[in-house]
Chains A and B, each alone.
Chain A
């Protein structure tokens, strides 16, 4: 990392004495920083690739774009999960051009090379023109990603072979992933359908927004109105909770909130049938984990961020969200709904209904977040004259509230450590 000079300073500016934490807005706009992020963050960190439940049977596959690379995520005939670069070792074309499915093999349509669902070359037209030991070193197989590992059903890849283990990387986040994974005895699974969208804003704005308890009351006023308008949609629970630093740039807020949670906070709207059902779910959680942990799983909400771009929000429903920048001022987002696999059709229906009320591009909340993020990005056009974002909320406090800004500071500190990004000094902060 460059030594600081007299005329430049880090993008992230922390004045502990003064209780100030500021981020220079060039971090959201500078094309050079955008390039650095791909080199120093997305090429070095563990990145979420998919969920166990997407690859149930041997032969199941999903294609995905992860940090601009086309990835083929498969369960092979030996039942082993693979993440392969979806590019033919012959000339480079994608060997699989479908979003998902089940296949014994993949044939590159360009020259007809065929690969097993483990990536091994099976045949190529005109094989008599190649030596018999042509693929003895495996160089004609699909190239696997350097690292692939799983934690409680969440699969991650890393393009850096020397990265620390996934377990070490996830650090304190593991405890919180457990709370989500423990919601079912048979396993959690994605519920059909992906919400894909683009936001014309820097990706780090979505990171902040996803773990920001401070904006909820203003930005999402109409969602709260909606709950109030709907008979029996609220539980008499006040908003209250805490923000936590989980290490390595990961962070979470955990809090009580008044909406219904299919695991397992009942609201009158769900009727007696729902009450019986949720009591059963809760009782089973108590049996498995004891009263305290069961309560935590059932009634507390969690917005969790895993550095650099995975959000798992266990709120009125569970969303998994990952996103990649395509430019300093644009990102593409994929979001899924996660649910206990053994949930009743009743609970599943309410879970999805809950999800759509709040979450996603057609919900009563996410469109307002999108507007906010795009407005911030517009604001950064005045960066030269108005250069700083402030995320100091709660720095003077011992106990950090869920609507303070510790989570953002955790993210930005790690971001600064990894990028080493600096800006020319223009007078005081």
Chain B
């Protein structure tokens, strides 16, 4: 794959595959979409979208190790928030390659995720910002950031799924 010739369609396919893996709870496979140093962030809704978790309180700030642990946790019976697990549907839209630099794509998108459990459906509305590495093995996520377009997490009480 060549950084200069990657098309939006290829990026979209990659993101749609990611959404499918999350919705089918294929979380270990999903981890393989990340680089070895990949990370995943959800800032609090009153923080700047590009805030750093080193000096600002986030909802989620996982390095690769904690991301693996998050997946491991979600697959356990003792992850009570997700046992039995929720049904989810990630709808990804407005995908745009915003920039290309070195081996990395700067990708923006809109996302709407539904989570249903015990007869209740919660909605998570937001935008994605990805740093996607173009590697010999294909596209890999170096950073995934989900910025929620919400006033706090209301009515949601938790981010117990991966957004």
Interface residues of A (CB under 8 A from B): 99-100, 191-200, 219, 221-222, 225-226, 229-230, 330, 332, 334, 336-337, 345, 348-349, 352-353, 355-357, 360-362, 364, 366-368, 370-372, 374, 378
Contacts and interface: CB of A to CB of B under 8 A. Distances in A.
A352 B44 contact: no
Interface in B112-163: 118, 120, 151-160
Given A348-B55, A357-B66, A370-B81, A200 B155 contact: yes
Contacts of A349: 54-55
B157 A362 contact: no
Contact of B55 (A336, A352, A362, A367): A352
Contacts of B45: 194, 196
Given A193-B43, A194-B44, A356 B55 contact: no
A197 B42 CA distance: 14
A357 B53 CA distance: 12
Counting contact residues on chain B (CB < 8 A from A), the size range is 35 or more
B61 interface: yes
12 contacts: A191-B56, A193-B56, A193-B57, A195-B153, A199-B157, A219-B80, A222-B79, A229-B72, A330-B155, A356-B59, A364-B73, A370-B160
Given A348-B54, A348-B55, A352-B53, A222 B76 contact: yes
Nearest to B155: A198
A198 to B, nearest CB: 5
Contact of A222 (B66, B73, B151, B154): B73
Contacts of B51: 192-193
Among B47, B59, B120, B151, the most chain A Cβ lie within 10 Å of the Cβ of B59
Nearest to A361: B158
Nearest to B68: A229
B57 A196 contact: no
A353 B58 CA distance: 9
Contacts of A226: 69, 73
B153 A336 contact: no
Which of A193, A226, A371: most chain B Cβ within 10 A?
Answer: A193
B66 to A, nearest CB: 7
| A-B CB proximity, top 5 nearest | A196-B152, A193-B57, A367-B81, A362-B59, A193-B44
B64 to A, nearest CB: 12
Given A198-B157, A230-B65, 16 more contacts: A194-B46, A195-B153, A196-B46, A197-B158, A222-B73, A222-B76, A230-B69, A330-B155, A332-B152, A349-B54, A352-B61, A356-B53, A361-B59, A364-B73, A367-B82, A374-B157
A225 B157 contact: no
B21 interface: no
Contacts of A192: 47, 51, 55-57
B79 to A, nearest CB: 5
B42 to A, nearest CB: 6
Contact of B152 (A197, A229, A357, A368): A197
Nearest to B80: A368
Contacts of B154: 196-198, 332
A372 B80 contact: yes
A278 to B, nearest CB: 18
B43 A367 contact: no
Given A198-B155, A198-B157, A345-B55, A368 B43 contact: no
B69 A229 contact: yes
A196 B153 contact: yes
A221 B156 contact: no
B60 interface: yes
A337 B57 contact: yes
B83 to A, nearest CB: 9
B90 to A, nearest CB: 16
B70 interface: yes
B78 interface: yes
A403 to B, nearest CB: 18
Contacts of B153: 195-198, 361
Contacts of A222: 73, 76, 78-79
Contact of A367 (B47, B69, B158): B158
A47 B30 CA distance: 45
Given A356-B60, A362-B60, A374-B157, A195 B65 contact: no
Contact of B57 (A199, A229, A336, A378): A336
Interface in B83-100: none
A379 to B, nearest CB: 13
A192 B45 CA distance: 11
Contacts of A352: 53-58, 61
Given A222-B76, A230-B65, A194 B152 contact: yes
A367 B120 CA distance: 16
Contacts of B53: 352-353, 356
